[in-house]
Amino acid sequence: MSADDRTGILGGRFDPIHLGHLGTAAVARRVLALDRVLLLPSRVSPHREEPARATDRDRLALVTLAASSDAHLSPCDLELESIAPSYTSVTLKRLREQGHRRTHLFFIVGADAFAEIATWHDYPTVLDGAHFVVVSRPGHPAADLVETLPDLRTRMRPIPRGADRPRVDANAAPAVFLIDEVTPDISSTAIRARIARGDPLDGLVPSNVAAYIKQHRLYSSQRGEQLA
């Protein structure tokens, strides 16, 4: 790995990580020709009051397993090392302190989450810390953000489905790339509900992730009874 790599960053609770997350990472990497994508489990999410259901250790293990079959993916425990809330601006600053150029960092986020960008910590300065890659989610086209976030219109670079890879000048100011591609309609909440019912996870998470969840009884009522 090199600090000069075009590095994507996909953060989240990953409680658990699923094929929707991995599909979003794959779309961003393909469209913007990224060298790798870091998968960062958050420790304390500033936008959610309730804690993650799985432990930090288990969520990192799941992310590590999910990344194991793709050489372009890397687990990263940067946010798990801190007891402070997992603010994007702080994470990007720490990556830059490690030697990454801000124009070689691409923060990947779903269109539904980016629609609330004005509520993020250190907004709008956070947008100067890296390129932002906004990927459509079911029911949330990325292109719609041009109208819903007019103050950011000059930063936005819409990329229609099937378009050629845009050329990104390493010395250009950070931009907001809007990518409209199909990604799996999967949620961690729905997966946890399936596990609680004893339903299979085929087509929702990688097989090694499903095996770990089963082996460690994550999200199941049996595990809850053992921990009570």
Per-residue pLDDT tens over the stretch 48-93:
668 899 999 999 999 999 999 999 999 999 999 888 888 999 999 9
pLDDT value at residue 2 = 61
pLDDT value at residue 171 = 75
Q: List domains and CATH numbers for the chain.
A: 7-186 (3.40.50.620)
Candidates 111, 108, 110, 106; CA nearest to 95 is: 106
Say if CB 71 and CB 29 are below 8 A apart: no
pLDDT value at residue 59 = 97
Q: Which amino acid is at 47?
A: H
Say if CB 13 and CB 59 are below 8 A apart: yes
Going by DSSP bridges, is the β-strand pair 176-179/131-135 parallel, antiparallel, or unpaired? parallel
Strand partners, 106: 8, 131
Q: Under DSSP, is residue 132 helix (H, G, I), strand (E, B) or coil?
A: strand
| Residue 112 burial (C-beta neighbours within 10 Å; 0-12, 13-18, 19+) | middle
Question: Residue 224: pLDDT band by 50, 70, 90 thresholds?
Answer: very low
Q: CA–CA separation, 39 vs 108, rounded Å?
A: 10
Averaged pLDDT of the chain: 90
Say if CB 163 and CB 30 are below 8 A apart: no
pLDDT value at residue 126 = 97
The yes-or-no verdict on residue 166 having pLDDT over 50 is yes
Candidates 8, 15, 55, 64; CA nearest to 32 is: 8
The yes-or-no verdict on residue 221 having pLDDT over 70 is no
The yes-or-no verdict on residue 223 having pLDDT over 60 is no
pLDDT value at residue 227 = 32
Question: Residue 149: pLDDT band by 50, 70, 90 thresholds?
Answer: very high
The yes-or-no verdict on residue 151 having pLDDT over 70 is yes
The yes-or-no verdict on residue 135 having pLDDT over 70 is yes
pLDDT value at residue 49 = 64
